[in-house]
Chains A and B, each alone.
Chain A
Amino acid sequence: MTYDFLIALLATAVTAGTPLLFAALGEILAERSGVLNLGVEGMMLVGAISGFMVAFATGNPWAGVVTAVAAGGAMASIHAFLSVTLRANQVVSGLALTLFGTGLSGYIGKVMVGNPLPAAFKPVHLPVLSDLPLLGPVLFRQDALVLLSYLLVPLLWLLIYRTRAGLNLRAVGENPAAADSMGVNVFATRYLYVIAGGMLAGLAGAYISLAYVPTWMEGMTAGRGWIAVALVIFATWNPIYALVGSYIFGGIEALGFRLQVLDIAVSPYFLKMLPYLATVFVLVLVSKRNALTRIGAPGALGLPYDREER
């Protein structure tokens, strides 16, 4: 393996990991508030197609990003209404959201299939940073959305662990009855973070259709939404670990097609299985560890809250 190959691999790992990162960060917010949202895949798809269409029509990728974020938030609000207000089964509601999003994106995206996007995000050159050895080409010759994700990770970490809002968020996810008794509005908090999580999922989708592979194909997220849900468990609901996990998974994906290019004797179908198999593998390892140490999910994850339920 040459140095150039390594640099290219690592740079692709970051690019491939970025949609996973956005989606995982979003899911961390939702799950921290106690709401499991399995609709990530659906929200990403709707984000991807709506962002693509607007960027295609306006020629401005940022307009696409804004649309995708709004669309992801709108999708998530359906889940918030069902699971927070109506206290529906969160697993089924999330699955319905994914199904709905898959169908919706396929329906409205039909006319767009196969169009390349002229106004895609391109890598930007930063003074000094981009010229650093190793770090420069890997981290800082990326597009604007990747750079945004660098900012988002520490910001969300600070929000969750170091602010009043984060204290409320964690309390609502751990023990909503305690939070409620101290005057934290459980419903508003859950709505806020489920919708914020959906917005990030929308952004994750937009990253795929506006930067990663700037085009539209039906079901183009290819299970990344689900990998992101798994990453949240791996990351123990911590944005920093989510970043690490996303790049590892991005690296596995990158390795898959880099090896393909190298004409290795392994069938491409097996290489494509890597991220999915790695997800299963990691999840098993993590649950084995958690079963021993009880590092756990937020205490009230998946449970609807009803003040007068006894």
Chain B
Amino acid sequence: MTRTYFGFIVEKKLMPSPWMVALVPAASLLLALLTGAVFFYLTGRDPVELYSRMWQGVFGSHYGLSETVVKAIPLALAGLGLALAFRMQLWNIGGEGQLYMGAWGATWVALTFAGQPAWLLLPGMCLAGLACGGLWALVPAVPRALWKTNEIITTLMLNYVAILWVDYFVYGPWRDPQGFNFPLTAQFTEGAWLPTLGDSRIHAGLLAAVLLAVAFYYLIYRTRWGFEIRVIGESESTARYAGINVRQNILLVLFISGAICGLAGMVEVSGIVHRLQPGFSPGYGYTAIIVAWLAKLNPLAILPVAFFLGALQVGGYAVQTSGIPSTMVNMLTGALLFFVLGGEILLKYRIRRPERQEQGVEAA
């Protein structure tokens, strides 16, 4: 299993060395930023200034830091939900739609029971968010379980449908009559607001994310059900051989995956926007795919990764004022993902210079 490229020998390794496992993500980040820098420079911007303003925007103030946590909360929640599905090789790309449906369900509770006390409203909104997100994920889960219908495409298509669904309500039946014709629902009554930390915007969703991360960690690595999920993810054929009900698990795991994404939508409307409005999510459901993947599907690693990608988002907003579109953050994350993927080859292979004897053979 040896190959020669440009005079270097590339060999396959059986186990990656531990320091490489740590080095590759760091190097990938550096390379992604470097690529971005070259690109910014070529399009006539000063990369050093741009990056330092992004850094300032995040770490330069309490506000920046707390905003990063605020962005990290839905990313972490949705990331946890998606990682659970990914572990079973179920490519749930529908996090965004499930998040929208969760927010929609929570909004329905908040508007219908407006004025009720928090102890009644908040659990109700949580349940509605979980249920709507979960049921929305069941739509593609059923054909996936029965006929192996490609869930990548069906979950993704349903994102567009969910967003249009929410659009219909905020432009139509739920539009606030006092809202000067803006597409917004009325603001929720205070009983529907998640409690916040001091006077920051950090809300109780953070607690939910941390608790769920720990719970999922135990679920996956210590419980019998988690064992089943891991076996199915390794090989469906092995799972059936071991007497595991694969279909039932596909339905259950996708339901929970969607439910957690729905919860992410619920905390966003209940903790931050306090109403439903179009585009309330800047693609959290999509970014959460990256969160789950970069964290290698490990629930505990999802928290710091979500914080990091949240920081990138906040940094993106910080430079928006100088006319740089915030989508450049997507570009940077895309590039980061390329380098992480490419970097994985370094974990599987060892590159070395040929020894003299081998060079002789090459020439022969």
Contacts and interface: CB of A to CB of B under 8 A. Distances in A.
Question: Do A and B come into direct contact in the complex, CB within 8 Å?
Answer: yes
Interface of A: 38, 42, 78, 81-82, 86-89, 91-93, 95-108, 110, 218, 222-223, 226-227, 229-230, 233, 267, 269-270, 272-273, 276-277, 279-280, 283-284, 287-288, 290-291, 308
A226 B152 CA distance: 9
B327 A284 contact: no
Interface stretch (B109-117, B195-203, B206-214, B336-344): B336-344
Given A81-B342, A273-B161, 20 more contacts: A42-B334, A89-B341, A92-B341, A99-B330, A99-B337, A100-B338, A103-B330, A218-B325, A222-B160, A223-B157, A226-B153, A230-B153, A230-B157, A273-B160, A280-B153, A280-B157, A283-B150, A283-B153, A284-B143, A287-B143
A98 B327 CA distance: 13
Interface residues of B, number: 48
B43 interface: yes
A86 B342 contact: yes
Determine chain A's interface SS by DSSP, over half rule: helix
Given A92-B337, A103-B329, A229-B153, A269 B168 contact: yes
A232 to B, nearest CB: 10
Given A95-B289, A100-B338, A233 B150 contact: yes
B206 to A, nearest CB: 26
Interface string B286-307: 1001100100000000000000
A92 B336 CA distance: 12
Interface in B333-361: 333-335, 337-338, 341-342, 344-345
B177 interface: no
Contacts of B345: 86-88
A38 B152 contact: yes
Contacts of B172: 267, 269
Interface string B47-81: 00000000000000000000000000000000000
Interface in B28-52: 43
A310 B153 CA distance: 32
Given A92-B293, A100-B335, A107-B328, A279 B153 contact: yes
Interface in B147-180: 147-150, 152-154, 156-158, 160-161, 164-165, 167-168, 171-172
A78 to B, nearest CB: 6
A108 B286 contact: no
Contact of B341 (A88, A103, A290, A291): A88
Contacts of B148: 287, 291
